[in-house]
Amino acid sequence: MLTAEDKKLIQQIWGKLGGAEEEIGAEALTRMFYSYPPTKTYFPHFDLSPGSEQVRVHGKKVVAALGTAIKNIDNLSQALSELSNLHAYNLRVDPPRFSLQFLSQCLQVALATRLGKDYSPEAHSAVDKFMSAVASVLAEKYR
């Protein structure tokens, strides 16, 4: 359960990114494709080479969605409802993968490389919980 303190920390972390949010999206995806090659199976239509414009654009989309989620952190289910439908009925990304663990890990690595020790254990915990909550909402309609 996300506590008030968690929510504050998440907003703080997001605030510290100073406009780099979009880059972080692309970086998180790039790291994910590198570390977890099976995740590429969901993007056969993408150019996944380094610096790919498609990856950059998609990363931007992912981060924008996370930003929306953060702004509506008290009602994730509603805020992510469209995306939840999309993932369940169209994209059908395998739910265990889709427990977003790989994207969450890579997003956190991207955050940690930028924030260094500012990515404190408490912030780490809050972000991990948040990503878990997002994953649950996105998986809600699978069956």
Residues binding another protein (CB under 8 A): 27, 30-31, 34-36, 105-106, 108-109, 112-117, 119, 121-122, 124-125, 128
> Minimum distance between the CB of residue 45 and another protein, rounded to whole angstroms?
21
What whole-number distance in Å separates Cα of residue 123 and Cα of residue 112? 10
> Minimum distance between the CB of residue 36 and another protein, rounded to whole angstroms?
8
CA 96 from centroid of its chain's CA atoms: 15
φ, ψ at 80 (rounded to 5°): -105, 15
And the tokens for 130?
A: 């948040």
> Minimum distance between the CB of residue 79 and another protein, rounded to whole angstroms?
24
For residue 113, the one-letter residue type is T
Shorter beta-carbon distance to another protein: residue 27 or 137: 27
For residue 57, how many other CB atoms are within 10 A of its CB?
A: 14
CB 54 within 8 A of CB 46: yes
Shorter beta-carbon distance to another protein: residue 69 or 126: 126
Shorter beta-carbon distance to another protein: residue 41 or 77: 41
H or E stretch covering 131? helix 121-139
Shorter beta-carbon distance to another protein: residue 36 or 81: 36
Shorter beta-carbon distance to another protein: residue 36 or 43: 36
What whole-number distance in Å separates Cα of residue 123 and Cα of residue 131? 12
